[in-house]
Chains A and B, each alone.
Chain A
């Protein structure tokens, strides 16, 4: 009749983008008469923030304020082809396509400004605040609005750009499995603390300490969103959810949220996150996609922590009180290991 604490560790990497490649994304960027830009995509925002991250990427690349950019998605009549939002591909593929399209639009805008200022486009820079000026001579400047108006109504230029990003499809060897799966990987490590009640078998996850390497935190708020929400889903996967509690038998499959269990706001574990950034050489501003790998390390860390707490190894997910109790019974009781105790470093 005791509560035992335990700590478990796991570490992973995760492939970024659709396996084997062959998954293109396209973007179109164009300016309205006043130098405000629309990014036309057919990418899908599931909540992961596709519209927002592509907006930041476009604004950065165009050299204009965020407020002057709007991302419009998804309409198959106006948005060019995108493979879809899955496989942690969105930021990486669509981000790169948006960069390419934005670079083209930007170059036209600079040509227009150069013509108005009677300089070479190579002498110009944007300040990110809505102005284009000669490098080293900030007073020789023109607003992006004026440049756009001049381009479209006087010079006859379209301030527009197209982009596509495609990693060519890789082959797969039937006999060795040789392949080029993806070009970049994200990484994570996780240490989870649990409390196990050896009388009821209940496991409470009481703390999570993680490190996630995401290439570049393009928007730190959205990165944190993903990591917190994803780790929650990992926790849920480890110890709450299943559509088939008696797999491979199909009986008693849940049909509502009363029986399909997920941790609620009262079940949360404090989650202390460290974000590392090692930019992907081919990522947009080095960005990888944290959206999937955030959940994965929690699952093994939880079962490892249970072993550390009571000496019971669980080999089947999800963790349930019944499985813990059966394990305790088979072991003749709790046999704490507690091998990962916190020490002064």
Chain B
């Protein structure tokens, strides 16, 4: 029975006068130098005086003469074709300065990842052909006051032809489901021009499952949540001098936003001056650059400062959330707690457009199977389109949902085996020198130590071997070898797409993909200070993985999707970072 006698009488903050944080300097002490001057001190933040006086300049904290306000006409339907847009009633309304439609947008595609040449352009800035989620913007109204802009928005008439919609990701993948995003008729992002999901294949899961003592399957679902920063997303643009435009923005990526605006507006980046850097919370929701191109366009068209901002209702239901995820995990487990096989099927619900979800899937696959050394791992992870608000990054992007599922699944394993859940973690933990499922060697691990520290302070008894374990011992060796055989397949093969060039593998057969040695900035002269030399800014050389054997195709590839002429991708932007343009 839990001993709760230390709990306070009222719920609240125990230890308020005595905040409970400790720094376990004893652990990994020989890897650290503590003799530094400014590093390691809890010095006051540079910006906190601005925060407590209200002087910190968020993007909206700039005064302009004649600032105009932008509001948007938005789809009320999950999915509909746009038949006709009639702005005539709105044009003459009080305070209306300009009405902006898709025709006014020089390059009407806003796909952030196009700047990295990752995937295809799929999302209009202002939609004219169809809408694929409730809230999708169709028309922008620029007016003298926010109230006048809101009133004019209501007067814009849009004739919609409602289309069938799909909201469940597994339903969306079934044949016959409504096509959410025309670029991907199968409602799944196409990876490498080949598959409708990203694969992870390491060892032979199916064979290992057959010899496991237990097979444990779970299904977990995480619903979307909002980043909900206290400052909503927005930007203010204004004419500057010399044909340039200044844009004050709450963006999390100044040059991502600048680059997006330059492309959408077909304007050289030299004409754009972006100012930001002080943001009222982001949590991933301010990476998409929705407001900047529109605010600048408003300024270009009116000659006046323009503000585009989400109100809180829009921030919650139109602003991109963390996307929902659904996870099926199957583990093969031995009686002693060793996990010998782990299989994932994951569905990232991207909503109506790709935004960053396609990339989240790759990040996720590189994270599997979690901080554990498991000899057989496979995953099929999908970026699926549904008729809901497009998703984007949020704190823990690509990892939060699957870690929730993995760690709840681990608890179920522990319960099935009658094993202490902390012992289970430590038994399967990865250690320095172990090979990981993405075929790189583990190093700098500290998973075991975190488990031990919590067990000790929470008063949970763990086995002596768990107490004695260390990230720095007993790894590598056999555990550091690639599997002798990896089962691969061509399931989910898709025709008619080309791979994008971002992170593209050259050649046909699987190569090791080892990272070439990096140009490291070598310090010319190391500082001779009382404190030892700071770590030079050089990434550790990656241990090249040994040559993988040619994978054998295990199962015949299923019939590809209905053949269509080789797809010409929609308008492609060349990447600002100079990757090849296709």
Contacts and interface: CB of A to CB of B under 8 A. Distances in A.
Task: State if A and B touch, Cβ cutoff 8 Å.
Answer: yes
B42 A219 contact: yes
Interface in B437-464: 437-440, 443-447, 449-451, 453-454, 456-461
Interface stretch (B2-10, B91-99, B334-342, B564-572): B2-10
A174 B537 contact: no
A176 interface: yes
B25 interface: yes
Contacts of A278: 27-28, 31, 444-446, 449, 471
Contacts of A126: 527-529
A284 B537 CA distance: 7
Nearest to B381: A177
B551 A175 contact: yes
B395 A262 contact: no
A100 to B, nearest CB: 4
23 contacts: A9-B425, A11-B407, A71-B46, A84-B287, A103-B534, A122-B525, A163-B521, A168-B516, A175-B199, A177-B365, A179-B438, A189-B453, A220-B40, A243-B317, A247-B224, A247-B324, A272-B21, A292-B399, A299-B400, A303-B404, A337-B415, A340-B420, A342-B459
Given A274-B453, A276-B450, A300 B521 contact: no
A224 interface: yes
Interface in B339-367: 349, 359, 362-363, 365-367
Given A46-B282, A171-B505, A275 B22 contact: yes
Given A166-B518, A209-B457, A315-B221, A273 B366 contact: no
Nearest to B20: A272
Given A173-B513, A185-B444, A304 B407 contact: yes
Contacts of B449: 187, 211, 213, 276, 278
B528 A219 contact: no
Interface residues of A, number: 177
A203 to B, nearest CB: 13
Contact of B454 (A177, A191, A344): A191
A38 B287 CA distance: 27
Interface string A40-64: 0111111101011001110111010
A61 B367 CA distance: 33
Contacts of B513: 170-173, 178-180
A220 to B, nearest CB: 5
Nearest to A255: B313
Contact of B255 (A83, A244, A300, A318): A83
Nearest to B459: A342
Nearest to A10: B407
A250 B254 CA distance: 33
Give the interface centre of B4, B21, B31 by most chain A CB atoms within 10 Å. Answer: B21
A47 B15 CA distance: 25
B75 to A, nearest CB: 13
Contact of B221 (A73, A182, A247): A247
Contacts, number: 568
A150 interface: no
Give the interface centre of B28, B277, B504 by most chain A CB atoms within 10 Å. Answer: B277
Interface in B453-482: 453-454, 456-461, 471
Nearest to A304: B411
Nearest to B425: A11
A37 interface: no
A15 B546 CA distance: 23
Interface in B304-324: 312-313, 316-317, 321, 324
Contacts of B167: 248-250
A8 interface: yes
A212 B168 CA distance: 36
A293 B446 CA distance: 14
Interface residues of B, number: 178
Interface stretch (A28-36, A74-82, A151-159, A324-332): A74-82
A177 B198 contact: yes
Given A55-B46, A221-B42, A85 B253 contact: yes
A125 interface: yes
Given A15-B363, A44-B276, A204 B11 contact: yes
B85 interface: no
A124 B321 contact: no
Contacts of A147: none
Given A7-B2, A83-B256, A296-B399, A272 B15 contact: yes
A204 B8 CA distance: 14
A181 B545 CA distance: 14
Nearest to B276: A74
A56 to B, nearest CB: 5
B367 A181 contact: yes
Contact of A300 (B19, B219, B398, B411): B411
B296 to A, nearest CB: 13
Contact of A218 (B27, B40, B221): B40
A85 B252 contact: yes
Given A47-B280, A66-B43, A180-B513, A344 B221 contact: no
